[in-house]
Structure 1
Amino acid sequence: MTPPTLMSMMIAGGLIGLGLALLVIWFTPAQPDLNDAVKRLSNTSPHRPDAEASTVNGKERLGIWAMRTLPVGLWAKTPTRELALLRIPLARFYGDKLTYAALGFVIPIGLATFLSLLGLGLPFAMPVIACIALAVVMFFLPNYNAIDDAKKARIEFNRALGAYIDLVALERTNGSGVRQAMETAAGIGDSWVFNRLAEELNRSRWSGLPPWDALHALATELGLPDLDDFADIMRLSGEEGTATYATLRARSAAMRTAMLNDELTEANAIGERMSIPGSLLGVIFMAILLTPSLLRMIPG
């Protein structure tokens, strides 16, 4: 049996086994996690997924199976705060990681099979190394996507939070109480940030928690220091009766100044990167002009 034939048989067998395993996991009914169910039903839980996230799809079933079967150390560092901010269930995240890893493992096999059919056989070690390397790289790709998307979401959250703080300050000047001002301001906007704040405030009302404690828990869970500072201001106003209008307006102005400075820094960095191609073109043009003179100076 020739090596190409042996490699083709091994590749075919591996693909068949992988497909059967995925089919079994896909169609196996998923058993609910009791701890997760209790947290979702609890009124004091700071995080509650959307209604759309309650439906279990194929990736989540794969993730649930992996969480119960595979060792915990396999997942390395999980971006928990980023997933909570994006409202991505942990099972779906793990399912994405396994799906990406399987795709990275299959792509080199497909390319090696295609080349072998064309008569361009590769050494057996090359497809194996490529499969492992690409699978590892794509296994960590969902981590990068979650961190990058969460960074953008935090910037959007801070922008909306500045407007929300101004609205709360205006409600306080109109004579509204602390909770009423926070809930009324949260009901004005229709973005996901205002909806998230309104959801936490409504949950705190039904659970009997102070609204600033609910926002403290949300800020800790999602990694939002500006929201934590706002909760401290409202706690002082609610517990000690401190006047907060000037403090809230100063806080929102400081947030806008910080965001403006960050945008200016990013714009300067982009401008510097854009100057690099122009500099390279200038160097290439000078090289073209000087090359004939240098060649004439070299003795034949």
Structure 2
Amino acid sequence: MMPLAILLGLVFGAGLAAVFLAAVPDAKLHLPYALERTSRGASPQPTTGVVVTGLTDRAARSSHPWLGLPQADLDVLELSPSRYIARRLRGAALGAATGTVLVLVNATATVVPAALVPLGALAGTGLGGMLPYFQLRDRARQRRDSYRRVLAVYLDLVAQERSAGRAATPALREAAEASDHPLLLRIRATVLHAHRLGRTPWDALRDLGTRLKVPELVDVADLADTAADGAAIATSLHTKAASLRHAALSDDTAEANRRSERLTLPVSLLMVAFLGLVLYPTTAQLLTQ
């Protein structure tokens, strides 16, 4: 009966994974969403199947941090909600199959009873579904850190444009044209889009910084708003850029210290193993006497 149970479990896991993968195929281009992404200067991303669309709508209405949509993180990574939900579904399917196989393999060795197969599948589903969430959060944190570093350079460029006599709006736009970094591309697209809609660029940048949860970008918008009133802000821009560079250097130093601390235990174990290797001949000779 045990080989039959293993075979049935493998078929169940493979069938469950196949059902999830069949339910989330890539669909044709969604024109309204593509136009919206193009107007914001980002490449359109394809939508997915009906199941993913329904789950995406449910997640958008949920206020739970794990079950809802992390809109700020998705916007920072320029990832559509449907693709995020599709990744979580694929992770849940893979986790269910993995959990089922692990329980069945342990059941063959009589370590755990075969009746725990559904529990293993459920645990694998939960872990596999949560893994994309934590990956998204870590990637968004790294992207925001990269944005803060680029903002220091961008502020210096805006200050140079202002010192050359540029107005606030051309200074913001031309400074963003110095590189193809994702943040500068978004700033450039935001400024151009605001110009088409008749909005002030600093209001649009303030909204962008709030949406991405990058307060340093909101500070840039506030400084640009001050410059629009005729204030000389070149010194303030250079000061803010220096502050961002100092904060980035402090973060790098703290990260280096954390990594050094994590090496303490492996190095200690290595030293103990080395001492044991050196003292082994003498110890073995004393024990044999």
After TM superposition, the score normalised by the length of structure 1 is 0.79
The one-letter code sitting in structure 2 at the alignment partner of 1:256 is R
Using the TM superposition, give the Cα deviation of residue 92 of structure 1 relative to its aligned residue in structure 2, in angstroms: 1.0
| 2:269 counterpart of 1:277 | no
Listed one character per residue, the Cα deviations across residues 183-239 of structure 1 (whole Å, up to 9, x for unaligned) are 11111212112111101000110011111101100000000011111111111111x
Closer, same or farther: CA 10–75 of 1 in aligned 2, 3 Å: same
Show structure 2 runs of 5+ residues with no match. Answer: 285-289
Aligned residue for 1:19?
18
| 2:253 counterpart of 1:254 | no
| 2:42 counterpart of 1:50 | yes
Closer, same or farther: CA 81–11 of 1 in aligned 2, 3 Å: same
The one-letter code sitting in structure 1 at the alignment partner of 2:240 is R
For 1:155, what is the secondary structure of its paired residue? helix
Whether the 8 Å contact between 1:25 and 1:65 is mirrored in structure 2 is no
The one-letter code sitting in structure 2 at the alignment partner of 1:257 is H
Larger displacement relative to structure 2 (104-113 or 4-13) = 4-13
The one-letter code sitting in structure 1 at the alignment partner of 2:76 is L
The one-letter code sitting in structure 1 at the alignment partner of 2:211 is E
Whether the 8 Å contact between 2:176 and 2:185 is mirrored in structure 1 is yes
Among 223, 230, 233, the residue aligned to 1:241:
230
Find the aligned partners of 1:199 and 1:221 in 2 and give their Cα distance.
15
Listed one character per residue, the Cα deviations across residues 158-203 of structure 1 (whole Å, up to 9, x for unaligned) are 1111111111101111111100111111112121121111010001
Larger displacement relative to structure 2 (84-93 or 100-109) = 100-109
Whether the 8 Å contact between 1:62 and 1:95 is mirrored in structure 2 is no
Aligned residue for 2:155?
165
| 2:120 counterpart of 1:130 | yes
Using the TM superposition, give the Cα deviation of residue 107 of structure 1 relative to its aligned residue in structure 2, in angstroms: 1.6
| 2:209 counterpart of 1:213 | no
Whether the 8 Å contact between 1:107 and 1:131 is mirrored in structure 2 is yes
How many residues were matched structurally?
285
The one-letter code sitting in structure 2 at the alignment partner of 1:193 is L
Using the TM superposition, give the Cα deviation of residue 42 of structure 1 relative to its aligned residue in structure 2, in angstroms: 11
The one-letter code sitting in structure 2 at the alignment partner of 1:96 is R
Find the aligned partners of 1:37 and 1:285 in 2 and give their Cα distance.
61
Closer, same or farther: CA 31–198 of 1 in aligned 2, 3 Å: closer
Find the aligned partners of 1:168 and 1:201 in 2 and give their Cα distance.
14
Find the aligned partners of 1:110 and 1:38 in 2 and give their Cα distance.
41
Larger displacement relative to structure 2 (280-289 or 264-273) = 280-289
**What's the % identity of the aligned pairs?**
26
Show structure 1 runs of 5+ residues with no match. Answer: 296-300
Aligned residue for 1:96?
87
Once superposed, what is the RMSD of the aligned Cα atoms?
A: 3.7
Aligned residue for 1:298?
none
Using the TM superposition, give the Cα deviation of residue 23 of structure 1 relative to its aligned residue in structure 2, in angstroms: 3.0
| 2:60 counterpart of 1:78 | no
Alignment of 1:61-210 (within 5 A): 61-68=50-57, 72=62, 76-111=67-102, 120=109, 123-210=113-200
Using the TM superposition, give the Cα deviation of residue 275 of structure 1 relative to its aligned residue in structure 2, in angstroms: 2.7
